[in-house]
Amino acid sequence: MASSFASFFAKDKTFRPKKKFEPGTMRYSLHKQASASLKSGLDLKEIVKLPDNEDEDDWIAVHVVDFFNRINLVYGIVTDYCTPESCPTMSGGPRYEYRWCDGIKYKKPTSLNAPKYITLLMEWVETIINDESIFPVQVGTPFPKNFRSTCKKLLSRLYRIFVHVYVHHFDLGTPFPKNFRSTCKKLLSRLYRIFVHVYVHHFDRIIDLQAEAHVNMCFKHFCYFCHEFDLLKKEEMAPLFEMTNRLCPEVLGVVK
């Protein structure tokens, strides 16, 4: 199941262009590691745990971007059916309506139709994950074709750079900002609202497309990860309490 889930979410049909990691970077390596774990069929509760000797903020950054891409695909399934006419508000049933506020154009919580709300939300998320002051990225430089022949010379001199950096500049790297964790919590909290809307208003379409298992797996992965690193409050999960209780009760503190 996990393997088919991974292949389903590797498809190119998305609501918005996918955010990709730069090959050769640590972030890319972590992304490949996480993707390989999903394809291996391992328990999702284990997959979300921080790998040994890895930075927790890097791990979270990778997953925020990954969830952005996966939720992109989830919403892409129903985007033709989620219209201003069919979904005049961004809601999760009659009891829950989400209003948009970005502090710039929408300075007060504003009721919007679901497609408009989700478009603004994804643009907002994308702007933040592309901001290197929040999500720092190091771009790797490819080696030349004659790399093998010059390897010893290159490494000998590169080693000198390591010496200089470690001795004089090791505290001047690119750290995550102090508000990184709170920013991720806000991102994931708002991304969760798309799950709410899709499950409540478009799940019949998910079933028609035989995508229920894939969407459920994505939802479980999201919930387990947020639970593992305390990134989503339980009260924020209230709109899908029954669904969460059925799919991953441990997240709610329920023991089967």
Q: How far is CA 227 from CA 34, 133, 249, in A?
A: 17, 26, 11
User: Would 105 be classed as within a structural domain?
Assistant: yes
Q: What's phi and psi for 110, nearest 5 deg?
A: -125, 130
User: Would 189 be classed as within a structural domain?
Assistant: yes
Which carries the bigger pLDDT value, residue 49 or residue 161?
Answer: 49
User: Would 145 be classed as within a structural domain?
Assistant: no
User: Would 15 be classed as within a structural domain?
Assistant: yes
Q: List the binding residues for Zn(2+).
A: 82, 87, 197, 202
Does pLDDT of 162 surpass 60?
A: no
Q: Which of 237, 224, 254, 249 is nearest to 45 (CA)?
A: 224
User: Would 153 be classed as within a structural domain?
Assistant: no
pLDDT of residue 196: 95
Q: List the binding residues.
A: 82, 87, 197, 202
User: Residue 46 belongs to a domain with what CATH number?
Assistant: 1.20.140.30
CB 192 within 8 A of CB 13: no
Number of structural domains (the chain) is 1
pLDDT of residue 19: 56
User: Would 79 be classed as within a structural domain?
Assistant: yes
pLDDT of residue 31: 52
pLDDT of residue 75: 81
pLDDT of residue 159: 41
pLDDT of residue 191: 95
User: Would 150 be classed as within a structural domain?
Assistant: no
What percent of the chain lies above the pLDDT cut of 70? 67
User: Would 57 be classed as within a structural domain?
Assistant: yes
- Taking the C-alpha atoms of residue 125 and residue 135, their distance in angstroms, rounded to an integer, is 12
The structure's pTM equals: 0.65
CB 191 within 8 A of CB 125: yes
Q: Which of 41, 110, 86, 103 is nearest to 198 (CA)?
A: 86
Q: Alpha helix (H) ranges present in 98-211? A: 114-129, 147-164, 180-208
- Taking the C-alpha atoms of residue 35 and residue 65, their distance in angstroms, rounded to an integer, is 12
pLDDT of residue 8: 47
How big is the chain, counted in residues?
A: 256
The residue segments making up the domain with residue 18 are 2-139+174-252
- Taking the C-alpha atoms of residue 188 and residue 34, their distance in angstroms, rounded to an integer, is 18
Which carries the bigger pLDDT value, residue 122 or residue 135?
Answer: 122
Q: What is the mean pLDDT of the segment spanning 87-102?
A: 86
Residue 147 CB neighbours (<10 A):
10
Q: Worst-scoring range by mean pLDDT, 73-82, 99-108, 138-147?
A: 138-147
Q: What is the mean pLDDT of the segment spanning 139-155?
A: 37
For the purposes of burial, counting CB atoms within 10 Å of the CB of 53, is it exposed (0-12), middle (13-18) or buried (19 or more)?
Answer: exposed
- Taking the C-alpha atoms of residue 190 and residue 127, their distance in angstroms, rounded to an integer, is 14
For the purposes of burial, counting CB atoms within 10 Å of the CB of 107, is it exposed (0-12), middle (13-18) or buried (19 or more)?
Answer: exposed
Beta strands in the chain (DSSP E): none
Q: What's phi and psi for 206, nearest 5 deg?
A: -60, -45
Task: Show the tokens assigned to 171.
Answer: 């505290």
Q: What is the mean pLDDT of the segment spanning 146-167?
A: 39
Per-residue confidence band for 151, with pLDDT thresholds at 50, 70 and 90: very low
Does pLDDT of 214 surpass 70?
A: yes
Q: Worst-scoring range by mean pLDDT, 30-39, 72-81, 242-251?
A: 30-39
CB 19 within 8 A of CB 65: yes
SS3 at position 104: coil
